[in-house]
């Protein structure tokens, strides 16, 4: 299942991210793609708000991954930036202080590197600069449901 969402303003992006974040659960994988400055970190910040995890969410320039624990008894957020990675991501090798099966994993620059982390995932590709579009591809039934649940409120 694929779906496009159009964001005319930053507020639209934030509303999308919060709605999406509220639907996520442990074990979910999101793969974010888009040029430099497309808005991947900004979207992750709003997803984090929807999830209710501890911030701040920043661009992890010198670290590959950060763990943001839940403030509401829900899943933690593992925020990964794969920009500098040359090969497939192996989260086990990062020795993160998190139960990955119980965490939501969001990977910036993850296309081609993160897919093997999970058979089911949501792939989000952001494009445009003034008005942005996100192309969402649900891989697996789990994310088809998530996309269907999102559509009415934020499309």
Q: Are strands 121-127 and 2-7 parallel, antiparallel or unpaired?
A: unpaired
Binding mask 88-127 for ligand ATP (x = CB under 6 A): --------------------x-------------------
Cross-strand pairs, 76: 103
Q: Which element (helix H / strand E) includes 14?
A: helix 10-23
CB of 6 to ligand ATP, least distance (A): 10
Does 136 participate in binding ligand ATP (rule CB under 6 A)?
Answer: no
39 contact choice in ligand ATP, Mg ion, none (CB below 5 to 8 Å, kind-dependent):
ligand ATP
Does 10 participate in binding ligand ATP (rule CB under 6 A)?
Answer: yes
* Piece in contact with ligand ATP (CB under 6 A), picked from 34-42, 71-79, 92-100, 110-118: 34-42
Who contacts 146 (Cβ-Cβ below 8 Å, separation ≥6)?
A: 20, 23, 24, 122, 138
Which tokens is 88 given? 């497939």
Distance of alpha carbon 32 from alpha carbon 125, whole angstroms: 6
- Nearest CB to ligand ATP, comparing residues 18 and 142: 18
Among 3, 18, 59, 120, binds ligand ATP (CB under 6 A): 59
CB-nearest residue to ligand ATP:
39
Q: How many CA atoms lie within 13 A of 87 on its CB side?
A: 2
Q: Which residues bind Mg ion (CB under 5 A)?
A: 40-41, 59, 108
């Amino acid at each position: 299942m694929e779906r496009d969402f159009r964001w005319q303003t930053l507020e639209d992006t934030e509303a999308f991210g919060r709605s999406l974040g509220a639907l996520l659960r442990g074990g979910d994988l999101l793969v974010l793609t888009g040029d430099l400055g497309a808005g991947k970190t900004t979207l992750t910040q709003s997803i984090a708000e929807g999830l209710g995890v501890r911030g701040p969410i920043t661009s992890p320039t010198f670290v590959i991954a950060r763990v943001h624990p839940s403030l509401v008894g829900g899943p933690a957020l593992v925020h990964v930036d794969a920009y500098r990675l040359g090969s497939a991501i192996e989260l086990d090798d990062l020795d993160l202080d998190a139960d990955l099966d119980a965490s939501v994993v969001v990977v910036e620059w993850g296309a081609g590197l993160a897919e093997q982390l999970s058979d089911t995932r949501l792939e989000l590709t952001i494009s445009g600069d003034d008005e942005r579009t996100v192309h969402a591809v649900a891989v697996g039934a789990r994310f088809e449901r998530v996309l269907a649940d999102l559509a009415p409120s934020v499309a």
